[in-house]
Amino acid sequence: MMNFNNQYINIQIEESEIPWLKIFTNKKHKEFSDCPVETKQEIFRLLEIIEKEMIKYYNPEKINIASFGNYVPHVHFHIMARFKEDSYFPEPMWGKKQREAKLDLPSFEVFCKTLIKQLEE
């Protein structure tokens, strides 16, 4: 479904009830400060495009962007569209579940196709 990569990064899907993508560096860097400037610039460029597309397509309550890497010590960023009705809101997706959610969201597959067009421009 989501297949985007270039010389600096690759984008992966996190299986979830919410729209959730991850940007990984192609070369393994433990910390963001270890990344070459071109990789950092590409990450920020893609974070902005993905965030804007999620807002436009899903109209979420909030976009969450996170970078932890405690279990996977490889630079990567999570981008998540959050909704008041999702199972964890307002907690993080790694937090305590607040409710059983049944979100009725527009197609994630269509979102990914639209996003890839934006990323390739």
Locate the domains of the chain by residue range. Answer: 4-120
**Class level of CATH domain 4-120:** alpha beta
The pLDDT tens digits for 6-35 are 999 999 999 999 999 999 999 999 999 999
The pLDDT tens digits for 28-72 are 999 999 999 999 999 999 999 999 999 999 999 999 999 988 888
Beta-bridge partner residues of 70: none
Residue 113 pLDDT more than 90?
Answer: yes
Q: Rounded to 5 degrees, what are φ and ψ at 40?
A: -60, -45
Give the DSSP letter string of 57-102: HH--SEEEEE---SSS-S-EEEEEEE-TTSSSTTS-TTS-------
Rounded to whole angstroms, how far apart are CA atoms 58 and 105? 7
Rounded to whole angstroms, how far apart are CA atoms 4 and 114? 12
Global pTM reads 0.94
